[in-house]
Structure 1
Amino acid sequence: MIFDLFRLDGKSALVTGGTRGIGLGIAKALGDAGARLVIASRQENQAALTELRDAGYNVDYINADMSDPDAPAKLIADTLALVGRLDILVNNAGVAQHGDTETFSTDTYRRLMSINLDSVFYTCRAALTPMRQQKGGVILNIGSISGYISNIPQRQAAYNASKAAVHMLTKSLASDYAEENIRVNAIAPGYISTAMTAGGFANEEWAPIWTDMTPMRRPGTPQDIGAAALYLCSDASSYVTGEVLVIDGGYTTR
């Protein structure tokens, strides 16, 4: 049956930034398909973990500050100690920061890049060895339409650059490791209704522009991203690697 290809029974999945927003939506989708979940975040969200466990998901939590360059390797080691193998890695942890480039502080820039790009590279690096040893695995990185377009009216050159880099990292890793049965893909969300975008949608200047530039004229939901993540993390996409799937309500068509 075609639906069986979407099942993740017996698979383990690590989701960074998995206690809220897009990350939580992805965790729910993978859990629904039967994956054993390991959720990592800088701050524990007990309500989210309780929700997942009450729904019957097999879930563990690891505290990890992805701005720390030592955190990714430790996170992968801790995950392997918990579940024995890593079948699926979802690099979702990220931060958004707006501001004029001429006044954008070096500290803010470095923190943004350390989480949005450096941690993705380091976590992929740490995951590749066990995935090669077990002769396969799936990596899913969360990019953004901001890796393709320059958003308006907010100015966010550093954020856009970080997400464009994630897209190219995804394609490069996919090319390098395809022969070892390791698939690497990314999702590029548009404007999704989460705590991260709540301030923008509350902004009287920004919100109408975001909506007007989205043909579907509404934000997406974490469930929209979770459904796509399930496809890319399951055998339903067994012949897909190096792709960046845009989910944006049509924003990038204009």
Structure 2
Amino acid sequence: MNRFDLSGKRAFVTGAGSGLGQAIAIALAEAGADIACFDLPGAQGQGETSAAIAVAGREALVLGGDVTDPASIEAAFDRAERAFGDIDIAVNSAGIANVGAAETMPQAQFLRMMDINLNGLFWSCQVEGRRMLARGRGAILNMASICGSTAIPGLEQVHYDATKAAVIRLTKSLAAEWAGRGVRVNCLSPGFMATPMNSRPEVAENVRTFAGMTPMKRMGLPHEVGGPAVFLSSDAASYCTGVDLNIDGGFLSI
């Protein structure tokens, strides 16, 4: 079981102020890691995340910034390493979701989704990867979605789906590029999870419908992403890179 232990590790988590990013930050702390929590300045959930990390007996560092600005990520990562030492684990969970019919979607809506969910994730990987490659070790975990592998009827989110498909492919490409240099890159693809993102009024009815279609007949709970995140971040997954791990109650099996 010691292979799953993250004691003495340091993690940098984007989107740590809410939803799955928050759940993963807490899970990594419960497994023994100190956590640098990165989110938009003033993100309300950051206090809740850092308090839960303290309850787990680990250190939390709250960092503000914007994943669409590489300099902002770099400054936050620098601050995390000054506070904790070398970062061992990076989790890229910052992202947005919204809906819109493909045939009428404004350019600004499409480009903003790309800028945050795809470009921002790549800038994060780039900053994290440079530091880890220089040391010859590290684990990066990206947040994708089952919507990157399948279209969900009734959800008009072509822009969101496109970003998540790209995240899966980006993860695999980075994994192949960096595998021989000591850095593992994997991603998680959650299904329908009980997070604030999936309680938005415009998708609430659809979410209930497709949760009912899930073989386990329910939505996932945020903490249920924590265990897989700990696994892929730990030495227990030392031969795993380029993995897209579905956490979907069996949805993609139907």
Q: Check whether TM > 0.5.
A: yes
Q: Deviations over 1:192-240 (max 9, x none)?
A: 1011111269734x14421232111100011110100000000000110
User: Quick check: 1:64 aligned with 2:65?
Assistant: yes
Q: Which residue pairs with 1:41 in the alignment?
A: 39
Q: Letter of the 2:91 partner, please give it.
A: V
The Cα of 1:24 is off from its aligned counterpart by 1.2
Measure the CA separation in 2 of the matches of 1:17 and 1:175: 25
Measure the CA separation in 2 of the matches of 1:108 and 1:71: 23
| Partners of 2:30 and 2:56 within 8 A in 1 | no
**Which residues of 2 match residues 153-192 of structure 1 at below 5 A?**
153-192=154-193
Assess, with a 3 A threshold, how the Cα gap between structure 1 residues 202 and 148 changes in structure 2: closer, same or farther: closer
Assess, with a 3 A threshold, how the Cα gap between structure 1 residues 29 and 203 changes in structure 2: closer, same or farther: closer
Q: Deviations over 1:156-178 (max 9, x none)?
A: 10000000000011000100111
**Which residues of 2 match residues 1-254 of structure 1 at below 5 A?**
3-42=1-40, 43-45=43-45, 46-199=47-200, 203-204=204-205, 206-254=206-254
* 2:36 counterpart SS class: strand
Measure the CA separation in 2 of the matches of 1:180 and 1:66: 25
Q: Letter of the 2:53 partner, please give it.
A: L
The Cα of 1:19 is off from its aligned counterpart by 1.7
| Partners of 2:146 and 2:252 within 8 A in 1 | yes
Measure the CA separation in 1 of the matches of 2:209 and 2:34: 40
| Partners of 2:137 and 2:183 within 8 A in 1 | yes
Measure the CA separation in 2 of the matches of 1:111 and 1:16: 18
* 1:70 counterpart SS class: helix
The Cα of 1:55 is off from its aligned counterpart by 3.5
What is the root-mean-square deviation in Å for CA atoms of aligned residues?
A: 1.6
Assess, with a 3 A threshold, how the Cα gap between structure 1 residues 8 and 208 changes in structure 2: closer, same or farther: closer
- In the alignment, structure 2 segments of 5+ residues that lack a partner are none
| Partners of 2:145 and 2:190 within 8 A in 1 | yes
Measure the CA separation in 2 of the matches of 1:201 and 1:67: 26
| Partners of 2:26 and 2:53 within 8 A in 1 | yes
Which one is further off, 238-247 or 37-46? Answer: 37-46
Measure the CA separation in 1 of the matches of 2:109 and 2:71: 19
The Cα of 1:21 is off from its aligned counterpart by 1.3
Measure the CA separation in 2 of the matches of 1:200 and 1:181: 44
Assess, with a 3 A threshold, how the Cα gap between structure 1 residues 202 and 153 changes in structure 2: closer, same or farther: closer
* 1:203 counterpart SS class: helix
| Partners of 1:191 and 1:248 within 8 A in 2 | yes
TM-score normalised by length of structure 1: 0.94
| Partners of 2:67 and 2:123 within 8 A in 1 | no
Report % sequence identity.
Answer: 37
Measure the CA separation in 1 of the matches of 2:134 and 2:208: 50
Measure the CA separation in 2 of the matches of 1:208 and 1:55: 33
Measure the CA separation in 2 of the matches of 1:85 and 1:44: 27
The Cα of 1:127 is off from its aligned counterpart by 1.4
Assess, with a 3 A threshold, how the Cα gap between structure 1 residues 18 and 208 changes in structure 2: closer, same or farther: closer
- In the alignment, structure 1 segments of 5+ residues that lack a partner are none
TM-score normalised by length of structure 2: 0.94
